[in-house]
């Protein structure tokens, strides 16, 4: 029985031919049953699927429900003839392109012209040559396939363009997800779906589910199960799109109890960013076998656009958050910040800068020349002009802000750097201005303190030392041994106090750059020997060896007084923390520098304190003795002297036992 209700009575002999490449579904419309049956038999014998109709009205009804790939149409029929059927089909915008072959006994030229003008694609005169019929059917079906492919590609491009515009209309990630899901469901004629954004570990960051009725805790369960054993998890793990044609037969589809979403077939594709899975789009349809490969291709293209849009939105959000954070930091900075363009006009400033400008409003400052916004600041203007002219970055230069009226001038510490655009072009500069009034006051107090130490404190100590020396003089009177020991202890304490005062003064002078370095050629071997000699007796009492392994006649240009104290401090430090073994002073000369090492076999340096021990007043814990020793300034002095000579100093534990203090000095200073 044919699809038009026509019974085929013709027999067939032999096997049916194999369905040819590009075969399709053909409708035969003819009011003559014998003609219709014969056409159907020939076409089915060639492997085509055939449906019949007895008149034009029946044909149009079937076409609206399931359009065929080609129409074999009789011209002379009751009710609606072939011309009318053609005109109605070609005028229906909802119908796809369907090739039409008119089959008729009329062979007048005007009949053919009329048919061609109405949109008929071919014309066959009865009686029909069946090999010719099959050849023309095959040719028009190829044309149909080409037209369908072009139409599908056009529709795909139009859809992708529409989706792209849809996505780019917002930079809100949640809005993008909602719009994408809505448009994708519509485009693929799905019933519902879901979309997710994933992190690098395929954990769900954001999701929009079709099961919106579910409570949040149930949605979490659904998402976890889908990602662990479901279709979405499979697509993400394999980085491939997948179609589930029948959800009852495919184990990748997860069914949930009491689920109101009917699912017969499903499709899911990963949203890829390079090779990273950034998300998933999954669609569902209640009918089985709804989704096809062309749906998969289209969804892959949509997913790619969604990933780009979501990434742009996320980047935009990150930039906005970073901008807000930066603005908050800049607004709360105590330092005044201004940015300028190449014409030295203020392009932005923070609240601290407005205060420095006398409480002006931002709109009154932006766009003004720096010289107008901050009058009488020649130093600052010179600094900004230097950087804008291509000069180097400027850090920590002191200048003065002249205040209006009788207000005292503000001392400023200014740093300035260039601002470049994305291509590296210079577009302006940023200047940071710190009010260092309190710093100047603190520096003045420190100077007074240093002056007090050097004069007011040393003078009484010198008096005490003089009195103790007199008491120790036999000419004044005899003292017994016990009294003599007390006097010696007092003298030693005074000398230690004097040494501490000297260290403090030297450290402060070095920090302030006020200590003058007097350089001359010196012999490092002799300097090491001079530092070791006063300590040999103390070392021998403790059965320690002090070895001078510095090569003889190793010359270097340095300040002999300061460098001698570096040797003395390092050797004294080694003696404090070495109970047995030896202390070795050695040096190695290179072409441009000399490295000096003081190596001991003592208790070593506590872990993590290798750098801290050079800080002021920092004392390494003597773990063996459980006590602190020293003033905490000796190693600080060593570090500053070495750095004043353009060298470096460091400390480290030896692999076996003890520690090594080493410093490098250039062989020639200018």
| Residue-wise pLDDT tens digits, 413-425 | 899 999 998 888 9
pLDDT tens digit string along 621-655?
Answer: 443 444 445 556 788 888 888 988 889 999 999 88
Q: What is the structure's pLDDT at 405? A: 66
What is the pTM (predicted TM-score) of this model? 0.42
Q: What is the structure's pLDDT at 213? A: 56
What band does 266 get if pLDDT is binned at 50, 70 and 90? very high
Residue 340 and residue 373 in contact, taking contact as beta carbons nearer than 8 Å: no
pLDDT tens digit string along 280-307?
Answer: 999 999 899 888 888 888 888 888 878 8
The two structure tokens encoding residue 670:
């200018």
Distance from C-alpha of 346 to C-alpha of 225, rounded to nearest angstrom: 58
Distance from C-alpha of 548 to C-alpha of 525, rounded to nearest angstrom: 8
- Please report, for residues 454, 456, 469, 657, the alpha-carbon distance to residue 462 in angstroms, rounded to integers and kept in the order given: 11, 11, 10, 42
Nearest alpha carbon to residue 125 among 75, 182, 196:
75
Q: What is the structure's pLDDT at 449? A: 73
pLDDT tens digit string along 359-393?
Answer: 788 888 898 888 887 766 778 888 989 999 988 99
Q: How many CB atoms lie under 10 A from the CB of residue 484?
A: 13
Residue 370 and residue 380 in contact, taking contact as beta carbons nearer than 8 Å: yes
Tell me the average pLDDT of the chain.
Answer: 82
Distance from C-alpha of 602 to C-alpha of 620, rounded to nearest angstrom: 13
Q: What is the structure's pLDDT at 516? A: 75
Lowest mean pLDDT among 70-74, 402-406, 457-461, 664-668: 402-406
């Amino acid at each position: 029985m044919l699809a038009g209700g026509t019974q085929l009575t013709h027999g067939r002999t032999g096997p049916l031919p194999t369905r040819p490449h590009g075969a399709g579904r053909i409708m035969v419309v003819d009011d003559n049953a014998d003609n219709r049956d014969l056409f159907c038999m020939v076409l089915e014998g060639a492997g085509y699927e055939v449906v019949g109709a007895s008149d034009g009205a029946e044909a149009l009804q079937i076409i609206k429900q399931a359009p065929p790939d080609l129409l074999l149409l009789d011209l002379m029929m009751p009710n609606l003839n072939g011309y009318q059927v053609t005109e109605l089909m070609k005028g229906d915008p909802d119908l796809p392109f369907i090739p039409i072959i008119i089959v008729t006994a009329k062979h007048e030229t005007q009949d053919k012209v009329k048919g061609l003008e109405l949109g008929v694609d071919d014309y066959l005169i009865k009686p029909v040559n069946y090999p010719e019929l099959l050849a023309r059917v095959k040719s028009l079906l190829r044309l149909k396939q080409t037209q369908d492919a072009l139409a599908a590609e056009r529709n795909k491009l139009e859809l992708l363009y529409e989706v792209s515009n849809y996505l780019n209309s917002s930079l809100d990630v949640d809005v993008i997800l909602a719009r994408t899901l809505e448009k994708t469901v519509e485009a693929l004629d799905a019933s519902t779906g879901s979309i997710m954004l994933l992190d690098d570990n395929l954990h769900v960051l954001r999701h929009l589910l079709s099961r919106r009725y579910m409570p949040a805790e149930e949605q979490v369960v659904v998402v976890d199960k889908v990602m662990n054993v479901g279709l979405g998890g499979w697509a993400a793990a394999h980085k491939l799109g997948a179609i589930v044609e029948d959800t009852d037969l495919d184990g990748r589809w997860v069914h949930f109890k009491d689920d109101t979403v009917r699912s017969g077939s499903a499709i899911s594709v990963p949203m890829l960013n390079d090779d990273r899975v950034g998300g998933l789009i999954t669609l569902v349809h209640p009918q089985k076998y709804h989704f096809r490969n062309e749906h998969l291709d289209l969804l892959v293209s949509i997913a790619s656009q969604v990933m780009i849009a979501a990434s742009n939105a996320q980047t935009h959000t990150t930039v906005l958050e970073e901008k807000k954070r930066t603005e908050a930091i800049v607004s709360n900075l105590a330092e005044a910040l201004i940015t300028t363009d190449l014409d030295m006009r203020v392009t932005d400033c923070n609240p601290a800068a407005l205060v420095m400008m006398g409480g002006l409003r931002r709109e009154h400052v932006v766009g003004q020349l720096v010289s107008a916004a901050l009058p009488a600041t020649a130093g600052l203007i010179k600094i900004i002009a230097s950087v804008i002219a291509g000069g180097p970055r400027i850090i920590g230069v002191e200048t003065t802000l002249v205040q209006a009226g009788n207000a005292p001038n503000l001392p400023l510490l200014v740093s300035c750097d260039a601002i470049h655009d994305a291509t590296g072009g210079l577009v302006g500069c940023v200047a940071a201005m710190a009010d260092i009034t309190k710093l100047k006051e603190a520096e003045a107090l420190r100077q007074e303190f240093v002056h007090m130490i050097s004069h007011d404190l040393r003078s009484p100590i010198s008096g005490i030392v003089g009195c103790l020396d007199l008491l120790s003089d036999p000419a004044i009177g005899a003292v017994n041994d016990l009294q003599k020991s007390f006097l010696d202890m007092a003298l030693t304490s005074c000398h230690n106090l004097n040494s501490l005062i000297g260290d403090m003064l030297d450290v402060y002078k070095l920090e302030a750059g006020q200590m003058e370095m007097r350089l001359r050629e010196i012999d490092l071997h002799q300097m090491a020997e001079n530092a070791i000699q006063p300590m040999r007796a103390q070392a021998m009492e403790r059965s320690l060896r002090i070895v001078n392994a510095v090569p003889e006649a190793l010359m270097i240009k340095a300040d002999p007084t300061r460098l001698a104290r570096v040797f003395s401090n390092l050797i004294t430090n080694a003696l404090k923390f070495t109970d047995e073994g030896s202390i070795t002073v050695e040096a190695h000369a290179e072409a441009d520098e000399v490295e000096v090492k003081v190596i001991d076999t003592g208790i070593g340096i506590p872990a993590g304190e290798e750098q801290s021990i050079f800080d002021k007043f920092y004392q390494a814990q003597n773990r063996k003795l459980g006590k602190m020793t020293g003033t905490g300034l000796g190693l600080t002095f060593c570090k500053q002297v070495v750095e004043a000579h353009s060298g470096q100093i460091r400390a480290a534990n030896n692999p076996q036992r003890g520690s090594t203090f080493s410093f490098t000095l250039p062989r020639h200073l200018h």
